[in-house]
Structure 1
């Protein structure tokens, strides 16, 4: 039976840290195949997603270019292999991971197509890519969703408190949601792209066997 990830309890006493990224860990974790043995957290930041993945996947690697934030990540789990490097150039073998996950990282990479191709390359046949990211609004329905997200943000941040991460920030995101959706369709045929409240989207792609 899978353990309960540490940052997802409905009880604030059990899950003391909350922010928009932690809020969406569950969506990524729900994509993990039951038989997954290896996972990569791209742009691991403070390491919270990697630590949650390590609760359900035997071998987890977290990679980030920012050495100081990886030092903080090491305190989250001794079961994760932490790497300071650029995922775009690190010498991972293609198809090394059953799960390639990322949260709030894709907008740090200027070439979104190249970033998606790299995630697909590193995923084993039958594995999954799960990405929660940020984009810019360009259509009325996106703006309406994020207005609703603002209400959700205010409620949850008052109830839970807002935990501030220490990873570098890129703002505003360089790509619109429309541009990211188009890139996903080009690079990962059959992937799903869905907008989320609180200024996020999710991509889920299962690599053919």
Structure 2
């Protein structure tokens, strides 16, 4: 692809890493791009993904993080351990209450940062999506002739929760969290322990 919609937000996610952070967990790490960015900042990083093919690609790329193939819902994450937990386009593949497991694993002062997706269901969603539609069309034109990635990641579309439902669930499960719309049908959810 000429443009990766999730990678575009890596700088924004890196800004959410709290000062003094030492440990990080990247949930749904895929091929490990963001995990490697975190490791490059000196963090002790674990990447977890249920897809064995992407975990093998992440391990092959190296760069410092430790990777394991597992479903985070089945893992016993250590309580109060991680200074930073990221979920990039992965939480919508799980029940939203998985956020409680991640919240419990945050160290005091730790941050959970979710780059999530929501479907276009309302007039407001549509208006917010208009700029992205133009960019998506340009991306399709630019990506012609570019080889597709050799690692295929399954896509769940549309995501199960609307933006409004995501806000309600965030308020319920992650009190004090913030949620904001981004381009490309994404949102940024930030919770500070």
Do both share a fold (TM > 0.5)? yes
Per the TM alignment, residue 206 of structure 1 is displaced from its structure 2 partner at its CA by 0.8
Distance in 1 between residues matched to 2:91 and 2:42, nearest whole Å: 22
Per the TM alignment, residue 136 of structure 1 is displaced from its structure 2 partner at its CA by 1.5
In the TM superposition, structure 1's runs of 4+ consecutive aligned residues that sit over 4 Å from their partners are 155-165
| Structure 1: unaligned runs, 5 residues or longer | 1-15
Q: 1:28 to 1:160 in 2, by over 3 A?
A: farther
Judging by fraction of residues, say which structure has more helix.
2
Give the alignment partner of residue 122 of structure 1, picking from 98, 105, 123: 105
Per-residue displacement from partner, 1:33-87 (whole Å, max 9, x unpaired)? 1210000000111111111111114200000111111101113333001011111
Distance in 1 between residues matched to 2:42 and 2:136, nearest whole Å: 30
TM-score normalised by structure 1 residue count: 0.83
Asked whether the equivalents of residues 101 and 131 of structure 1 are also in contact (C-alpha less than 8 Å), the reply is yes
Distance in 1 between residues matched to 2:100 and 2:189, nearest whole Å: 13
| Structure 2: unaligned runs, 5 residues or longer | none
Give the alignment partner of residue 175 of structure 1, picking from 152, 157, 161: 161
Which residue pairs with 1:53 in the alignment? 38
Asked whether the equivalents of residues 2 and 139 of structure 2 are also in contact (C-alpha less than 8 Å), the reply is no
Matched pairs, number: 190
TM-score normalised by structure 2 residue count: 0.90
